[in-house]
């Protein structure tokens, strides 16, 4: 650590003070305070994910943790505060178009082959589109059908007219939700999902702790848990989705996701378990 400090140019040491307007002595005092702390948690907003320099920003935070000696402290870490409940769990599970479950890259052939063998299905090596690119493609008439689960982009996106126009150009729009949202009103078919207290599953918080969700009530009317609806649709389309419970689905996740491989549904217990980086 001292050797690193000796190799940092003097100009770089004074730059933070010039940029922020905070006296250099105050910055040094803060650095010493951070270094002496037993644990450090850095919290940042979810907007960092869409920042054009997100990799550099996250890298800087990791460098800071190393400089103050907390990069290998189990009680320290960098947490992103996502906007929606279980956004972390969705990302961990592979919802990112360029990632497989557990953040392995789709473009990585060895990672792709491992998952293909378990799923008995071919995974495209080219990443898909994120939702912004989907909207752009829909505007251009390149997307003929769209299936939206548990999201209301018409209400959530700043330019609702842009979203409505894009979805209006889709030949077949399916929305799965617990309410008739503004987006669901545009759908050709609405599938009734179950609320959080009507289904089982897991939530993952920013601490990377995977916690079980226990059902309190049976789903109302003809509504069903999201996983159940997806399985039914897959079976109608000729695929062998015969999962019987969220427990079975989670245990399969532990076989394809490197960050979940030391877990099982039974071991989560009442307090859950944290996944560890590999």
DSSP per residue over 138-151, as a string?
HHTT---EEEEES-
The dihedral built from the CA positions of residue 124, 129, 131 and 136, taken in this order, carries a sign that is: negative
Can you say whether the dihedral through the CA atoms of 78, 214, 265, 246 is positive or negative?
negative
From 121, 120, 138, select the one nearest 129 (Cα to Cα): 138
The residues of the chain scoring below 50 in pLDDT are none
CA 103 to CA 97: how far, in whole Å? 10
Query: Total domain count for the chain?
Result: 1
| Alpha carbon distance 46, 135 (integer Å) | 21
pTM: 0.79
The pLDDT of residue 6 is 58
Residue range(s) defining the domain that contains residue 40: 2-15+24-81
Within-domain flag for 213: no
The pLDDT of residue 69 is 83
Interatomic CA distance for residues 278 and 101, integer angstroms: 13
pLDDT on residue 71 = 79
Decide if 60 is inside a domain.
yes
pLDDT digits (tens, 9 = 90+) for 152-175: 999 999 899 999 999 999 999 999
Q: Is residue 97 part of a domain?
A: no
Q: For residue 189, what pLDDT is reported?
A: 98
Inside any domain, residue 183 = no
The answer as to whether 126 is a domain residue is no
The confidence score (pLDDT) of residue 116 equals 96
Q: What is the pLDDT of residue 68?
A: 82
Q: Would you say residue 44 lies in a domain? A: yes
Cβ 255 vs Cβ 194: under 8 Å? no
Report the pLDDT value the prediction gives residue 5, as an integer from 0 to 100: 56
Residue 46 included in any domain? yes
Residue 73 is assigned to a structural domain of this protein: yes
Q: 156 CB contacts (<8 Å, ≥6 apart)?
A: none
Long-range contacts of 161-166 (CB under 8 A, 24+ apart): 162/135, 163/135, 165/139, 166/135, 166/136, 166/138, 166/139
The pLDDT value recorded for residue 8 is 57
Residue 236: predicted pLDDT: 95
């Amino acid at each position: 650590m001292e050797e690193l400090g000796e190799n940092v140019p003097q100009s770089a040491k004074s730059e933070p003070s010039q940029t922020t307007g905070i006296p250099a002595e105050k910055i040094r005092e803060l650095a010493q305070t951070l270094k002496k702390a037993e644990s450090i948690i850095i919290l940042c907003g979810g907007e960092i994910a869409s920042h054009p320099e997100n990799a550099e920003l996250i890298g800087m935070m990791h460098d800071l943790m190393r400089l103050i000696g907390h990069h290998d402290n189990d009680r320290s870490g960098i947490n992103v505060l996502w906007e929606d409940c279980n956004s972390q769990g969705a990302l961990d599970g592979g919802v990112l178009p360029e990632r497989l479950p557990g953040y392995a890259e789709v473009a990585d052939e060895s990672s792709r082959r491992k998952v293909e063998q378990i799923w008995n299905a071919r995974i495209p090596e080219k990443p898909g589109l994120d939702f912004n690119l989907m909207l752009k493609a829909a505007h251009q008439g390149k997307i003929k059908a769209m299936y939206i689960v548990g999201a209301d982009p018409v209400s959530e996106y700043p330019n609702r007219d842009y979203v409505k126009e894009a979805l209006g150009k889709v030949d077949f729009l399916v929305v799965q939700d617990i309410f008739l949202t503004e987006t669901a009103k545009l759908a050709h078919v609405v599938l009734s999902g179950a609320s959080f207290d009507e289904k089982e599953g897991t939530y993952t918080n920013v601490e990377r702790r995977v916690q079980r969700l226990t059902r309190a009530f049976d789903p109302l009317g003809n509504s069903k848990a999201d996983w159940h609806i997806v399985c039914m649709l897959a079976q109608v389309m000729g695929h062998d989705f015969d999962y019987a419970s969220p427990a079975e689905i989670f245990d399969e996740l532990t076989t394809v996701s490197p960050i979940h491989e030391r877990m099982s549904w039974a071991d989560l217990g009442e307090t859950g378990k944290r996944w560890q980086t590999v």
